[in-house]
Amino acid sequence: MNNAASFKMYYTVDYMDIIDIVFVTRKSESSVWIMYLGRERRESRSRYFDTFEDAKQSLIDSVSKKIEYCDREMVILKNRLERLSNLKSDI
């Protein structure tokens, strides 16, 4: 399947924690051309990397950002819960 005209890149899917190998015939800053599949643009959920380590770090960074977001959201929700628990009727 791989020939001299193509080279290996690593493709990540954030929401599934997948790193897959694809064979690319050429690439630019905004696009890669996948062997047998035609042109495919780079998008936030479709990311290509030259090395496995870069692909892995991208997934680690993505999960870390989600954890930070959830931590901030947890603080907000705990504050809301405390405010609601302390509500008193004015009647």
Locate the domains of the chain by residue range: 7-85
pLDDT tens digits for range 22-77: 888 888 777 788 776 666 655 545 688 999 999 999 999 999 999 999 999 999 99
Interatomic CA distance for residues 17 and 66, integer angstroms: 13
Q: Check residues 79 and 35 and name the one with the higher pLDDT.
A: 79
Reported as a pLDDT band with limits 50, 70 and 90, residue 84 is very high
In this prediction the pTM is: 0.72
- Which residue reads 């008193």 in tokens? 88
Check residue 7 and give its pLDDT.
Answer: 87
- Give 23's contacts (C-beta < 8 A, 6+ positions apart): 1, 2, 6, 7, 8, 9, 34, 35
H/E stretch holding 9 reads strand 7-13
